[in-house]
Amino acid sequence: MPTSEDYESQVPAWCPGCGNFQILSTLKQALVELGIEPWEVLLVSGIGQSGKLPHYMKCHTFNGLHGRTLPVATAAKLANHSLHVIAVAGDGDCYGEGGNHFLHTIRKNPNITLLVHDNQIYGLTKGQASPTTARGTHTKIQPYGVPSEPLNPLAMAISLDCSFVARGFAGDREHLKELMKAAITHNGFSLLDILQPCVTFNKVNTFKWYRDRVYKLEDNYDPYNRVKAFERSLEWGDKIPNGIFYKNDKETLEEMVPTIHKEPLVRQKFSIEDVKHEIEKFY
């Protein structure tokens, strides 16, 4: 069985007090509790403070480009579906730069997990508005207030019939861990949006701000009711619900590709001899 030490790596270069620390330690704990070994995990990340996370964990890592996490993760899963593929992204990374990939990966439904470190701000580039920043927020770039409506990732995912839609809070590690475990074990594309305070650039959505507002979806809440899930996903303000909003146990992308039904693509043997006769079809 793996232990937390197996996942230990470099010391993170995040601001002291950053919500990312909780996400990192919770993810390690979730993987340990699921009995998943580091060499069975592929973490794919983009660019942003979240993108550094794989460097602070021991596992297979592809730290790619800003916004391009999901195409890499999807293809890696298609090439080797025996790996646990977890994409780690930020709100700007995934909902802004990579918006098109977010939308279409939900449609494709590969059996991968997407963890979005949603701090409602651009941390790496020092404090500009992100797609989830509240309208009217003042930043250096938007001195008159952010003019755009914030993107609601949960409502968007539910509208696309995403296979698994959840939200957690970096300040509630126990709950977050359970959500991570549910997301990782879910068979299909799972989105876990994580409310993560940015202690340096976001002076509004602080740990306290969240603690005063977040609550868990009720025990008898039915995540298979899409309309209800959509309704709950719109709740934001004085009360912010967390938990598994929506589930749909539909066929995954890998299950739709007959080529990889017998064994992962990466294990399939190749020899020129097997293909040679294809040329006959051109005679």
Instruction: Return the range that interacts with another protein (CB under 8 A); candidates 49-57, 128-136, 163-171, 197-205.
Output: 49-57
* Sites for another protein among residues 129-188 (CB under 8 A): none
The closest of 116, 70, 68, 67 to 91, measured between CA atoms, is: 116
Establish if 68 lies at the interface with another protein (CB under 8 A): yes
Exactly one of 25, 61, 187, 206 binds another protein (CB under 8 A); that residue is 61
User: Quick check: 282 binds another protein (CB under 8 A)?
Assistant: yes
* Tokens found for residue 116: 């979005």
Please list the alpha-helical segments (H only) found in the chain: 20-33, 69-79, 91, 99-108, 153-159, 173-185, 207-211, 226-233, 253-256, 272-275
Given 18, 42, 88, 184, the residue binding another protein (CB under 8 A): 42
Contact, 16 vs 9, CB < 8 A?
A: no
Residue from 63, 142, 187, 200 touching another protein (CB under 8 A): that is 63
Query: Exposed/middle/buried for 237, CB within 10 Å: 0-12, 13-18, 19+?
Result: exposed
CA atoms of 107 and 25, how far apart (whole Å): 30
47 is an interface residue for another protein by CB under 8 A: yes
Interacting residues of 270 by C-beta distance below 8 A, sequence separation 6+: none
Nearer to another protein, 90 or 241 (CB): 90
Question: Per rule CB under 8 A, is residue 18 in the interface with another protein?
Answer: no
What token pair was written down for 234?
């719109």
Could you tell me the smallest distance in angstroms from the CB atom of residue 52 to another protein? Answer: 7
Instruction: Report in angstroms how near the CB of residue 282 gets to another protein at its nearest.
Output: 4
Q: Give the interface segment with another protein, choosing from 99-107, 132-140, 179-187, 243-251 (CB under 8 A).
A: 99-107
